[in-house]
Amino acid sequence: MRTRPTLTWEPTGEFFARTTRLDAMVELVADCGVVVLSGAGLSTESGIPDYRGESGALRKHTPMTFEDFVGSAEARQRYWARSHLGWRAMAGAQPNVGHRAVAALRASGHVGGVITQNVDGLHQAAGTPPEVVDLHGSLDRVVCLTCGTLSARTELERRLNEANPVFDGVAARINPDGDVDLDEDAVLRFRSVDCDSCGDGVLKPDVVFFGENVPKSRVDRCNELVDGAAALLVLGSSLTVMSGLRFVRRAAEAGKPVVIVNKGATRGDRYASARIEAPLGAALVELVGLVGAEPVTG
């Protein structure tokens, strides 16, 4: 059964203590055994906007849902036209100092595992080992919903370029899912392509759309990481969607400390031992130095 997508969340009015001091995060990470759960806020310094921050994409953009994608050829045409432009920006994004700090903490053993809600691949690009769990998948892969074949996004882009040699759409804004704002006339001129393995299968980016369930095997792996961790550190996520919030709840129910670093209230605040409001990049660079990990470079 598909879940109803949760796009927004409003604070309950309850007050949860927050601080700008990094002490709680430093203490947590210094003891090692921490699992990181990262969200879109970690990638904003790489030029990729988040969904729910002060200038979040949801203020102007409704992301594609799984139901719309599979149920409408017009919706798929619109998605691929917009995503074709968005991919160029996503593929060109570079890891920021926050991503590199997480990689440094993973290399030093302070962080035992990384779960990310992001689909941009920037943790891996920063040098974090490939066992990062891409909770919502990755935009650099494409899956056929008919035959299940996985293929590289670069190959799809080659085929889309061939099918649209004079496509002149101009992206007005990129969104966290690689979608962009695009004039409807440009959408109507765009030609999408089918799976070249089975001939006519529907292609979808290998990401979890709103309203689509995270694969059980992936959830199980995340549960294993949280169960084996001493603590959970949340970086740049409002925790609006249950796919990420469930791990905060799981850690808290097991009596493990949870520290959240985010600009603004989160749906997980009530489960946290501390919430820190600080610019992520600078805070993580400082954290690396304070726990004695190798300095962040690049």
Percent of the chain with pLDDT over 90: 72
Strand pairing report for 133-134 and 137-144: unpaired
Q: List pLDDT tens digits, range 30-67.
A: 999 999 999 999 999 998 887 545 544 444 457 789 99
Q: Which residue has the tokens 């060109």?
A: 92
Q: List pLDDT tens digits, range 169-200.
A: 666 567 766 777 777 888 889 999 999 999 99
Give the range among 15-29, 50-64, 94-108, 151-165 with minimum mean pLDDT. Answer: 50-64
Sequence length of the chain is 298
> How many angstroms separate the Cα of 12 from the Cα of each of 15, 71, 105, 149?
9, 35, 34, 44
| Average pLDDT, integer, range 250-276 | 95
pLDDT (0 to 100) of residue 23: 96
Whether the Cβ atoms of residue 95 and residue 43 lie closer than 8 Å to each other: no
Mean pLDDT score across all residues of the chain: 88
How far apart are alpha carbons 213 and 3 in whole angstroms?
A: 7
How open is the CA angle 46-262-213, to the nearest 5 degrees?
80
How far apart are alpha carbons 20 and 156 in whole angstroms?
A: 44
Provide the annotated active-site residues: 136
pLDDT (0 to 100) of residue 173: 63
